[in-house]
């Protein structure tokens, strides 16, 4: 036994929620991007959301006790820092669907709360930062970035994923800062080869407010195992996606509703115990 803290013992909803909330504020200036939104649109969106809430209350005769429980729960979501988790799990998938509806190239999926920019640059062929003896089946992934017309693209893949215990670096304690986070840049041939390990299925924190809703509603908290990517190339729309593994019991009932058939991988076992796979990305030219 070592005395090093294991994330499993010390990970908490409040700690990962606080990190995700802090990360969101550090990366984005969300109000700047919508500062020219006309009041008519704000009025319409706010009114229709409130109308839907009112209709639900009337339809189901929501009581004062239920209203007060909701009020307390919403306050707690903020205190736990779980707004990024709540929104990305239960809302973002529809925003992503609307935003990428026009694309001819690769299907996308939600970003989720655990992206961190500026991960270590590893070239076109490289191994993800990981601990010595990192647990999990080694994965060797050959791929290419092309445009919708088939032309290879010099671009960049940012990859981040959970470890074999389902923990993300920078959001669970005890992990090296950039563990299983890396950036890969392709040359003009668009080709890359990434070595990493298979992540575990991910259970969203059960000890915070999102977990409380899940338990109270009798839902489960699982996302299937997944790799997160952001793929970009000059003159092309950048792609945010997740890739999934066949046979995962939660591919069909992802709590975040973020699985699409086009995002399924096909890893093949190799004699040395690792797995090999290919997955190609197709990006849409800007303004196409
Ligand atoms: C995750 O790892 C994730 O990808 C999403 C969308 C929500 C919670 C945790
Ligand atoms: Fe994830």
Residue nearest to atom 5 of ligand 1 (CA): 112
Is residue 221, in this structure, part of any structural domain at all?
Answer: yes
Task: Answer with the residue of higher pLDDT: 20 or 220.
Answer: 220
Q: Tell me, yes or no, whether 70 lies in a domain.
A: no
67: in domain: no
Is position 169 within any domain?
yes
User: Is the per-residue pLDDT at 199 higher than 60?
Assistant: yes
More confident residue, 144 or 28: 144
Instruction: Report whether pLDDT(145) > 60.
Output: yes
- Number of domain units in the chain: 1
pTM, entire model: 0.94
Range in 22-36, 70-84, 199-213, 273-287 the model is least confident about? 22-36
As to burial, measured by CB atoms within 10 angstroms (0-12 exposed, 13-18 middle, 19+ buried), residue 16 is buried
Decide if pLDDT at 30 tops 60: yes
Handedness of CA 110, 114, 120, 122 (dihedral sign): negative
3-state class of 240 per DSSP? strand
pLDDT of residue 81: 95
Q: Has residue 265 got a pLDDT over 50?
A: yes
The pLDDT score that the predictor gives to residue 1 is 35
The pLDDT assigned to 106 comes to 96
Q: How many angstroms does the Cα of residue 177 sit away from the middle of ligand 2? A: 17
Ligand 1 binding pocket includes 284 (Cβ within 6 Å): no
Quick check: is 117 in a domain? Answer: yes
Give the Å distance between the CA of 273 and the centre of ligand 1.
Answer: 28
Q: Pick from 105, 104, 112: which is nearest to 258 by CA?
A: 112
Residue 11's pLDDT is 79
Which atom of ligand 1 is nearest the CA belonging to 112?
A: 6
CA angle 55, 61, 65 (to 5 degrees): 115
Give residue 269's Cα distance to chain centre: 26
Q: Phi, psi at residue 195, to the nearest 5°?
A: -105, 130
> What's the CA gap between 71 and 17, in Å, rounded?
19
- Establish whether residue 88 lines the binding site of ligand 1, counting it when its CB lies within 6 angstroms of any ligand atom: yes
Name the CA radius of gyration of the chain, rounded. 20
CB atoms within 10 A of CB 287: 6
Our answer on whether the CB atom of 114 is closer than 6 Å to any ligand 1 atom is: yes
Residue 3: what pLDDT? 41
Ligand 1 atom, smallest distance to 168 CA: 2
Burial class (CB in 10 A: 0-12, 13-18, 19+), 231: buried
CATH of the domain at 197: 2.60.130.10
Verify whether ligand 1 is closer than 6 Å to residue 167 (CB atom).
no
In this predicted structure, the answer to whether residue 26 has a pLDDT above a threshold of 60 is yes
Please tell me if the CB atom of residue 223 comes closer than 6 angstroms to any atom of ligand 1. Answer: yes
For 53, the enclosing helix (H) or strand (E) is: helix 39-60
Does the Cβ of 166 fall within 6 Å of ligand 1?
A: no
| Domain enclosing residue 241, as ranges | 7-29+86-283
Q: Is residue 269 part of a domain?
A: yes
The helix/strand/coil state of 109 is coil
The pLDDT of residue 24 is: 86
CA of 112 to the centre of ligand 2 (A): 6
Residue with CA nearest ligand 1 atom 3: 112
Residue 148 is assigned to a structural domain of this protein:
yes
The span from the CA of 86 to the CA of 210, in Å, is: 6
**pLDDT 10s digits, 37-81:** 999 999 999 999 999 999 999 999 999 999 999 999 999 999 999
- Count how many residues are written for the chain: 288
Please tell me if the CB atom of residue 20 comes closer than 6 angstroms to any atom of ligand 1. no
Task: State mean pLDDT over 9-24.
Answer: 84
Distance CA 118, CA 129 (A): 13
In this structure, is residue 252 part of a structural domain? yes
**pLDDT score at 9:** 58
Average of pLDDT values for 159-187?
Answer: 97
**Percent of all residues in the chain with a pLDDT value above 90, rounded to a whole number:** 88
Partners of 84 in the β-ladder: none
The reply to whether ligand 1 has any atom less than 6 angstroms from the CB of 255 is no
């Amino acid at each position: 036994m070592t005395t090093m803290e294991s994330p499993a013992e010390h990970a908490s909803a409040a700690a990962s929620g606080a990190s995700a909330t802090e990360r969101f504020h550090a990366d984005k200036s969300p109000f700047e991007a919508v500062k020219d939104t006309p009041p008519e649109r704000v009025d319409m969106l706010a009114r229709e959301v409130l109308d839907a809430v009112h209709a639900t209350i009337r339809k189901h005769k929501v009581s004062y006790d239920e209203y007060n429980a909701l009020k307390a729960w919403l306050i707690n979501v903020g205190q736990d820092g779980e707004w990024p988790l709540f929104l990305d799990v239960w809302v973002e998938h529809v925003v992503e669907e609307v935003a990428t509806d026009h694309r001819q190239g690769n299907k996308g999926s939600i970003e989720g709360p655990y992206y961190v920019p500026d991960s270590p640059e590893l070239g076109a062929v490289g191994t993800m930062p990981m601990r010595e003896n990192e647990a999990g089946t080694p994965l060797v992934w050959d791929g290419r970035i092309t445009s919708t017309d088939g032309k290879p693209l010099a671009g960049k893949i940012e990859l981040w994923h959970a470890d074999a215990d389902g923990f993300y670096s920078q959001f669970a304690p005890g992990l090296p800062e950039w563990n299983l986070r890396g950036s890969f840049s392709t040359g003009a041939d668009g080709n890359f080869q990434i070595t990493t390990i298979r992540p575990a299925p991910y259970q969203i924190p059960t000890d915070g407010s999102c977990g409380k809703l899940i338990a109270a509603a009798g839902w489960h908290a699982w996302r299937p195992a997944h790799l997160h990517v952001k793929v970009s190339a000059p003159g092309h729309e950048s792609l945010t996606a997740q890739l999934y593994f066949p046979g995962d019991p939660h591919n069909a009932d992802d709590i975040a509703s973020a699985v699409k058939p086009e995002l399924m991988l096909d890893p093949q076992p190799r004699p040395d115990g690792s797995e090999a796979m290919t997955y190609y990305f197709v990006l849409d030219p800007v303004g196409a």
